[in-house]
Amino acid sequence: MVQFTGGCLCGTIRYAVNAEPQRMHNCHCDTCRKVTGSAFATNIFVAEDDVVITQGEPKSFSHAADSGNTVVKEFCANCGSQLFGHGTGRPGVKNIKVGSIDDASFVQPVADLYVKRALPFTQIDPSLDGFDEMP
């Protein structure tokens, strides 16, 4: 059963996710800021096998994370929209950038990561768990 669908800005890449998200959190690290072009990223974690690319083929870019793990970002080569990330630190798990989801009204982050790097204007919900770095 399809739980939710998403895609990039230009419509070249489309995906469907067939499972409930495992975790959802906001990340205020420098990498998430750079890659999203926004103040922070909201990431939805699902099992890699539950993400089905229904159209197009994302391009990928690999880099080293703070932890030393290799992290891969997947995006549309045509419009540049960021779609997914995965890394050697969490094999078999993919994160989905919330902005790529068609109807993300179900999303409720449970934690904020890298709070100490959050931009001064960012409002952090005090009812969520907050971590200075990656817990």
Q: Binding residues for Zn ion, per CB under 5 A?
A: 8, 10, 12, 27, 29, 32, 76, 78-79
21 or 49: CB nearest Zn ion: 21
With 0-12 / 13-18 / 19 or more C-beta atoms within 10 angstroms meaning exposed / middle / buried, residue 131 is middle
Q: How far is the CB of 1 from Zn ion (least distance, A)?
A: 26
Question: Which one, 49 or 57, has the nearer CB to Zn ion?
Answer: 57
Q: Which is nearer to Zn ion, 17 or 32 (CB)?
A: 32
Name the minimum Å distance from CB 92 to Zn ion. 19
d(CA 32, CA 24): 14
Among 20, 90, 24, 97, residue whose Cα is nearest residue 58: 97
